[in-house]
Amino acid sequence: MSAVWTVVVVTGVGTLALKAAGPVLLGGRPLPDRAARVATLLGPALLAALVAIGTFAEGERLVVDDRLLGVAAAAVAIRMRAPVLLVVVIAAAVTGGYRALT
Amino acid sequence: MAEERSYRHGARAIVPLAIAVFGFGVSYGVLAETAGMGSLAPIVMSTTTFAGSAQFAAASVLAAGGAAATAVAAALLLNARYAPIGVTVAPWITGGVWSRLLHAHLMVDESWAVAAEGGGRWNPKVLVAAGLGIWIAWVGGTVIGVAFGDVIGDPNRLGLDAAFPALFLALLAPQVRDRAPREAAFAGAAIGLVLTPFTPAGVPIVAASLGALLGLRRSEP
């Protein structure tokens, strides 16, 4: 098997194993009380990390760039109770618009 | 809460993100082909691995002449976050093994985020519908990129890279009204940012899970 296909197959199997571990092994029943409280807080912790890394990470560097403009505009829209769809469009429009102008 | 959300809601909620994902799918197809992956392998990988950043990382390693093992390691490290993400949705994924595998396969950052019902609850129907929408966009974009090359140009030029953190922020906001989840969120973001310069990509998000433990102290009765 060529190197490329090795990567495709092993990454595919490995990724599904990572994704399926929770649903297959723990799925369909409530977690024990203490674990459930941790799992409840896992969502906010992971989402916040996705926000922070998606805004400031460039590979393994931290940068402040025009993505922050879009995300800041999104934060204002969220404050004003805009629907999620509009928030996403505003972020792309502000960052893309700024890039088009510079 | 209003009416219970179903497949329809997931499909509708994911449309703007699916458009952005399609754009990145095209650039992945272009990059993967230039990286010497051929035309079939990138499409098969989008269908099966179905994880954007990991696929970009693997293609970049191969493009730079790196070993297969290095490409796999980089990709799986980036996907390691799906283990804790899978734990969050697990209690709501019922059915047989095949059904659970299907739910797991369609669980990507975006479909997971829109499936959040708040308070640690997740909606499997929204997860599946949104995940299917993202999957179609990602695979379709890859096919277009491989077949026709750079038809869209750099998706970042359109600001699509800002759409993803904006989505996650919009879905995070209603979940952090109480003190414990708010502290977990701040801790998760801080851990992610602090580790970014010092660890391989993928590690900071997995480590951000520890933010949940910090928040837990607040939720102890």
- Radius of gyration, CA atoms only, chain A: 19
Q: What is the ipTM of this complex?
A: 0.93
Q: Kindly report the average pLDDT of chain A as a whole number.
A: 93
Q: How many CA atoms lie within 13 A of A39 on its CB side?
A: 25
pLDDT for B198 beyond 90: yes
Q: Is B123 within 8 Å of A58 (Cβ atoms)? A: no
Report if residue B208 sits inside a domain. Answer: yes
Same domain membership, residue B118 and residue B54 = yes
Specify whether B43 is located in the same domain as B138: yes
Shared domain for B153 and B190, answered yes or no, is no
pLDDT, average across residues A59-73: 95
pLDDT band at B65 (very low <50, low <70, confident <90, very high): confident
Helical ranges in B149-219 per DSSP H: 160-172, 179-195, 203-208, 211-219
B193 and B142 in a single domain? The answer is no
Pair B99, B201 in one domain: no
- Contact between B86 and A41 under an 8 Å Cβ cutoff? The reply is no
pLDDT band, residue B196 (cuts 50/70/90): very high
Q: What pLDDT score does B1 carry?
A: 47
Question: pTM here?
Answer: 0.89
Is position B2 within any domain? no
Give the dihedral sign, CA B78/B83/B88/B91: positive
Name residues 65-94 of chain A within 8 A of B (Cβ): 66-67, 69-71, 74-75, 78, 84-85, 87-94
Check whether A38 has a pLDDT greater than 50. Answer: yes
For residue A1, is pLDDT > 70?
A: no
Tens digit of each residue's pLDDT (9 = 90 or more) over B114-162: 999 988 899 999 999 999 999 999 999 999 999 988 777 788 888 889 9
* Same-domain pairing of B139 and B213: no
State whether B16 and B107 are in the same domain. Answer: yes
Contact B165 A95 (CB under 8 A): no
Same domain, B91 and B181: no
Subunit contact A46:B188, Cβ cutoff 8 A: yes
| Alpha carbon of A69: minimum distance to chain B alpha carbons (Å) | 9
User: A-contacting residues of B 1-60, CB under 8 Å?
Assistant: 13, 15-17, 20, 36-38, 41, 44-45, 48-51, 54-55, 58
Q: Does one domain contain both B36 and B64?
A: yes
pLDDT band at B191 (very low <50, low <70, confident <90, very high): very high
Query: B186 — contact with chain A (CB < 8 Å)?
Result: yes
Q: Is residue B19 part of a domain?
A: yes
Which site among B43, B48, B88 would you substitute to test the A interface, given the most A Cβ atoms closer than 10 Å to its Cβ? Answer: B88
pLDDT over threshold 90, residue A39 = no
A-chain residue closest to B44, CA distance? A8
Number of domains composing chain B: 2
Give the position of tokens 């649903």.
Answer: A23
Q: Which residues of A touch B87 (CB under 8 A)?
A: 21-22, 26, 31, 39, 42
The whole-angstrom separation of Cα A9 and Cα B165 is 30
Q: Are residues B184 and B167 in the same domain?
A: no
Among candidates B86, B170, B176 on the partner chain, residue whose Cβ is nearest the Cβ of A87: B170
Average pLDDT (B161-180) is 92
B84 and B186 both lie in a single domain: no
**Token pair of B56 as six digits:** 């970009």
Domain, as residue range, for B72: 7-175
Checking if the pLDDT of B3 tops 90, the result is no
- Does B184 reach chain A within 8 Å, measured CB to CB? yes
Query: How confident is the model at residue B111, as a pLDDT?
Result: 95
Amino acid B219: pLDDT:
58
- Say whether both B183 and B148 belong to one domain: no
Model pLDDT, residue B133: 96
What span, in angstroms and rounded, lies between the C-alpha atoms of B59 and B49? Answer: 13
The SS3 of residue A101 is: helix
